[in-house]
Amino acid sequence: MFSSRVPAGRRVNRLSQAHARLRAQGIEVTDLTESNPTRVGLHYPPGLLDALASPGGLRYEPTPRGAPEARQAVAAWLSQPSCFGDSPVATASREGAEAGRVSGPSPVDPERIALTASTSEAYACLFKLLCDPGDRVLVPQPSYPLLEHLARFEGLEPVPYPLEYHGAWRIDGAALTDAIDPRPRAIIVVNPNNPTGSFLAPDDRCALTTFCRERELRLIVDEVFNPYPIDPLPGSGRSVLERSADVLTFVLGGLSKAVGLPQVKLGWIVVDGPEDEVDATLDALDLLLDTYLSVSTPVQLAAERLLTEGTSLTEQIRARITANHRILARVVAQHPAAGLLRTEGGWYAVIQVPATETEETLALRLLEQDRVLVHPGYFFDFPREAFLVTSLLPEPDRFEAAVTRVLARTTGR
């Protein structure tokens, strides 16, 4: 087994530099890291953004937590079962359909919702709210690389806690306990996680609740990919909002993934937990949000229509990731030396390949010789090699051709 313990940023740079060079030479590369939904051939209804031109947007009447009608729209969206992926496409997956029989989300109180310009901004707000510079926050590993930057930009120390794969990704409880000295202020859970696709398992949630209560930790649950189940474990809870929280919990989401509109810039935080703590937290959040008032009036006025009319995008993305996941499973099955890790949900899939060379060398070879860009696992801090991460968003024909080349190269067949 080869290991490349060079800082991930530097090594990813070599890959992006090589990609930029090929682009400059006019060489076509299939980008399997593409996660921008507006660039993968989905159909965006031409009038989808008309609601942003509402004349009401000419008046400025800011409210810290966001306009009541916008918060109401988000609450209604979160409270409908379909936002958690109960679509015919999502439930077409056999085990997904079994797991789909859940009670559905509880109604969300709009008063407990605060709007932000994005999920990334929501993290920044919560870090300011819950932590002081120098404090520690627990961050899952492997996970979304931006979490580390978001924490560091607020002067915090991100402390990784490992997820372990044994046919499904679970929190390593012993390692989590080891990571709590000195005491962190908050723990982040990504549900489902990027890129492992793992939902928070019901017993992991129970254990985490106890853990947070005993150690006075705040729970931040990033659910941007929650509307996109693919192959969830039977019985796996999907949104933590389906059951009210016993500890102070912040659930994050946004238009960027919910309806494939990252450019529109609207995110949200749902505050859940014991009532007195929620009330005090909302007061503090009001003060913080009032200092920035970063969410534009037009997007707040348009929120209801964007969430309602954006359903067609949610459905298209579900169809796309389900189709590509099926293609990937078929292609990987033809290569016994490789394996597809279980993808419970989200927009990414993880392929384990023989570690005959470093992930970096392999990713560069795939780029230079096969004209395919993939993320090496180290980009997400996988604990060992060799893993490749692919987005499930690219157009299916190109996706199939590219993953076929990836598997042929990595398994030597």
Among 34, 86, 222, 360, binds ligand PLP (CB under 6 A): 222
Q: Which C-beta is closer to ligand PLP: that of 186 or that of 331?
A: 186
Shortest distance (Å) from residue 103 CB to ligand PLP: 25
Please list every residue from 277 through 316 that binds ligand PLP, using CB under 6 A. Answer: none
How far is residue 154's CA from residue 220's CA, in Å, rounded to a whole number?
16
Interaction between residue 262 and ligand PLP (CB under 6 A):
yes
Output DSSP code: residue 2: -
Is it true that the peptide bond before 117 is cis, omega within 30 degrees of 0?
no
Q: Which C-beta is closer to ligand PLP: that of 289 or that of 338?
A: 289
Q: Which C-beta is closer to ligand PLP: that of 31 or that of 370?
A: 31
Output DSSP code: residue 349: E
Output DSSP code: residue 400: H
Interaction between residue 256 and ligand PLP (CB under 6 A):
yes
Q: Which C-beta is closer to ligand PLP: that of 208 or that of 362?
A: 208
The stretch near ligand PLP (CB under 6 A) out of 97-105, 114-122, 126-134, 296-304 is 114-122
Shortest distance (Å) from residue 32 CB to ligand PLP: 15
Interaction between residue 254 and ligand PLP (CB under 6 A):
yes
Kindly list the distances between the CA atom of residue 21 and the CA atoms of 17, 358, 374, 389, in Å, as whole numbers in the listed order: 6, 22, 16, 22
Task: Give the x-and-dash track for 8-47 against ligand PLP (CB under 6 A).
Answer: ---------------------------x------------
Kindly list the distances between the CA atom of residue 163 and the CA atoms of 174, 198, 200, 390, in Å, as whole numbers in the listed order: 11, 9, 11, 19
What is the β-pairing status of strands 136-141 and 186-190? Answer: parallel
- Contacts of residue 228, defined as CB under 8 A and 6 or more positions apart, other chains included, come to 85, 90, 192, 257, 317, 318, 321, 345, 346, 347
Among 33, 93, 118, 314, binds ligand PLP (CB under 6 A): 118
Among 87, 120, 236, 343, binds ligand PLP (CB under 6 A): 120
Q: Which C-beta is closer to ligand PLP: that of 87 or that of 119?
A: 119
Rounded to 5 degrees, φ, ψ at 57 are: -70, -10
The stretch near ligand PLP (CB under 6 A) out of 11-19, 23-31, 116-124, 395-403 is 116-124
- Contacts of residue 306, defined as CB under 8 A and 6 or more positions apart, other chains included, come to 48, 49, 51, 255, 259, 261, 264, 266, 299
Kindly list the distances between the CA atom of residue 17 and the CA atoms of 13, 71, 252, in Å, as whole numbers in the listed order: 6, 42, 33
Interaction between residue 380 and ligand PLP (CB under 6 A):
no
The stretch near ligand PLP (CB under 6 A) out of 54-62, 118-126, 228-236, 401-409 is 118-126
Shortest distance (Å) from residue 404 CB to ligand PLP: 26
Kindly list the distances between the CA atom of residue 76 and the CA atoms of 115, 241, 253, 256, 308, in Å, as whole numbers in the listed order: 14, 13, 14, 18, 10
Output DSSP code: residue 39: G
- Contacts of residue 400, defined as CB under 8 A and 6 or more positions apart, other chains included, come to 327, 331
Interaction between residue 144 and ligand PLP (CB under 6 A):
yes
Rounded to 5 degrees, φ, ψ at 194 are: -105, 120
Q: How many residues of this chain bind ligand PLP (CB under 6 A)?
A: 13
In this structure, are residues 343 and 231 in contact, taking their beta carbons and an 8 Å threshold? Answer: yes
Shortest distance (Å) from residue 151 CB to ligand PLP: 13
Q: Which C-beta is closer to ligand PLP: that of 57 or that of 262?
A: 262
Please list every residue from 157 through 216 that binds ligand PLP, using CB under 6 A. Answer: 190, 194
Q: Which C-beta is closer to ligand PLP: that of 143 or that of 358?
A: 143
Interaction between residue 224 and ligand PLP (CB under 6 A):
yes
Is it true that the peptide bond before 88 is cis, omega within 30 degrees of 0?
no
Residues that bind ligand PLP in the complex, under the rule CB under 6 A: 35, 118-120, 144, 190, 194, 222, 224, 254, 256, 262, 267
